Every structure is written in structure tokens, then in C-alpha cells.
Amino acid sequence: MTGKCVWFEGIPFPSLDYSPELLREVQESFLVKDKDVLLLTFPKSGTNWLIETVCLIYSKGDPKWVQSEPIWDRSPWVETKHGYELLKEKEGPRLISSHLPIQLFPKSFFKSKAKMIYLIRNPRDVLVSGYFFWRSAKFVKRPQSLEQYFEWFVEGNVVFGSWFDHARGWMSMRDKENFLILSYEEMKWDMRSTVEKICQFLGKKLEPEELNSVLKNSSFQAMKENSMSNYSLLKGQYFEENGQLLRKGVTGDWRNYFTVAQAETFDKLFQEKMADLPQDLFLWKQ
């Protein structure tokens, strides 16, 4: 994948709202505060689902906030021009989203007590989700086929770089007490327990009916219908009309797309790259 991307430290970024100068400034100068909460993902891991869930926890299940402010303003992306400007002005504890790999993240975070949630998803599903998403985006080089995107992905030649490097990098933080790893798969299998886990990590308490409302308003259907969360506001300018953020929202969709040979190639690569990490970090059944 070359062209229509901004390159920084060997990693391609979307051409929209990113620049090498800003990425350097974010890394060197953005001040993470102890009370900030950071939501970290590789793109297409369920980022927006996590943001919506945390926003709903903050509002105790009341959907007013998530239905009235665009998701990218509620928890701005620190590495985008828009997000960086918003965050600099924001008073008090902030929700901050990011797809940055650990080596490019604001240095101040590593000296802070800010809490971070890293959401991981089966990279095979990340790949398939990314293929469908990026082929309708106007600010990256679009893949022409799944076969082509598969090649880019396994080479680490997609926006935000190699999934393997991203996951390995952030997982090195797994023993820190201000760092929580969640998976898309556990959110799908038991969202109630996952919300309870997030609440415990963030020191938030929800009444049973508040928790029910978080579950209801963060569901796939509720988010798909919420114009503040489903990216429909970006259609035309940034995405083709047929583009959709909330595509299927399931686990294991890769099985419908990978050939036998692609599945074998991916398994081999996963083994090569991740074998030395505790395998209970990867909760999906391939």
C-alpha cells in the first residue's frame, strides 16, 4: 500500500487530518493527565463500541450524551488535528482515543497515572472488517480486493502499521495496574461482565437499571441507528454512500472470506509473531 497516506516513522497514516509534524508534537508534547482515561485500539477492533460503552458508563446509562455529540468529539483521537485541538482545550478528566502504536504514543503517559484500556480483536476479523471499511474511504489507498488487502495486512502495510507490532507493543504494559486489556470477543460473549469489569477498573458504580441501559444503548442495533455514533455524518465527504462502520458486528466472520491457503498463512504468521506471549491473551477460537 503506497500513496494517499501520510508516513511517519515508517508507519502509514490516513491522509486526512494527520501530519508528521503533528504526530511528532503529540509524541513529544501532549500532556496526559492522571485523571485521563485512554482508549487504545488497532483500527477495526471495536474502537467505537468501546468508546460508546465508556461514554454510557460515564453518563450512568443515560443516552442523552451519546445521542447528541459526535463520537469523535466525546473521546477525541489525540493523533488527529481535530482531536488534538479539542483535547488541548478540554478542562477536567478527559476521554481520549488513539490508534497509535506504543512507540509513537505521548511520552507523558508513561510517567502518569492515567488509566488505559487496550481493546484487542482477532486480527483475522480486524483484517476483514478493515477491507470492507477502507474500500469505501476517501482518505486512504483503497484495496481493490480482499486478496490484495490480505497481502498488505500480513506485510504490516496498512494504516497504523503491523497489527502484530501494535498488539505486541501495547501488551508489554499488561502487568501495569493502570492498564486493562479487553477483547472484542469477550464483549460479544458477555457484555454485562465486561461492563462490570470496565466499571471496576475505572472506579465507577452503576445501579442495575443503569447497567441495563448501558447494555441497551451500546448494542449493535442502537449504535447503528445513532447518527452520532455510526459515522453517517461523514458520508459524502469522507466515505462513499455505501460505506458503513457498523457492518456485521460478529466474531469469526473471517471464515466466510479467507481461503484455506490464506488461513494457513495467517496461522503460521501468528505463531511466528506471537508464540512467546501468554496465549490466554488471545481469547478467540482462531
Q: Which residues bind ligand LN4DG7MM (CB under 6 A)?
A: 14, 16, 43, 72, 99, 234, 238
d(CA 98, CA 40) in angstroms, rounded, equals 5
CB-nearer residue toward ligand A3P: 112 or 214: 214
Q: Name the residue with cell 497516506.
A: 5
Site for ligand A3P in 39-68 (CB under 6 A): 41, 43-49
Min separation Cβ 188 and ligand A3P, Å:
6
What is the nearest approach in angstroms of ligand LN4DG7MM to the Cβ of residue 173?
21
Q: Reading across the β-sheet that carries 115-120, which strands appear in turn?
A: 95-98, 37-41, 115-120, 179-183
Smallest distance, ligand A3P to C-beta of residue 123, A: 12
Residue 189 has a CB neighbour count (10 Å cut-off) of 12
Q: Is 97 in the site for ligand A3P (CB under 6 A)?
A: no
Q: Which residues pair with 41 in a beta bridge?
A: 119
Contact 92, 34 (CB under 8 A): no
Residue 25 or 240: which CB sits closer to ligand A3P?
A: 240
- For 104, counting Cβ atoms within 10 Å of its Cβ (0-12 exposed, 13-18 middle, 19+ buried), the class is buried
Residue 181 β-bridge partners: 118
Asked if 238 interacts with ligand A3P (CB under 6 A), we say no
CB burial of 270-279 (b: ≥16 within 10 Å; e: otherwise) equals: beebbeeeee
Compute the least distance from the CB of residue 277 to ligand A3P, in Å: 21
Query: What is the torsion angle, in degrees rounded to the nearest 10, for the CA atoms of residue 257, residue 259, residue 264 and residue 266?
Result: -40
Q: How far is the CB of 230 from ligand A3P (least distance, A)?
A: 9
Question: What does the alpha-carbon distance between residue 119 and residue 101 come to, in Å, rounded to a whole number?
Answer: 13
Residues 116-135 that bind ligand A3P (CB under 6 A): 125, 129, 132
Instruction: Kindly tell me which of 112 and 158 has the beta carbon lying closer to ligand A3P.
Output: 158
Which one of 201, 220, 238, 257 is in contact with ligand A3P (CB under 6 A)? Answer: 220
Phi then psi for 155, rounded to 5 degrees? -85, -5
| Alpha-carbon torsion (247, 23, 9, 239), positive or negative | positive
Residue selected from 246, 266, 282, 284 as contacting ligand A3P according to rule CB under 6 A = 246
Residue 99 bears catalytic tag: yes
- 98 lies in the binding site for ligand A3P (CB under 6 A): no
Q: Which stretch binds ligand A3P (CB under 6 A): 148-156, 161-169, 201-209, 240-248?
A: 240-248
CB under 5 to 8 A by kind: which of ligand A3P, ligand LN4DG7MM, none does 49 bind?
ligand A3P
Q: Which residues bind ligand A3P (CB under 6 A)?
A: 41, 43-49, 125, 129, 132, 218-220, 223, 245-249, 253
Active site residues: 99
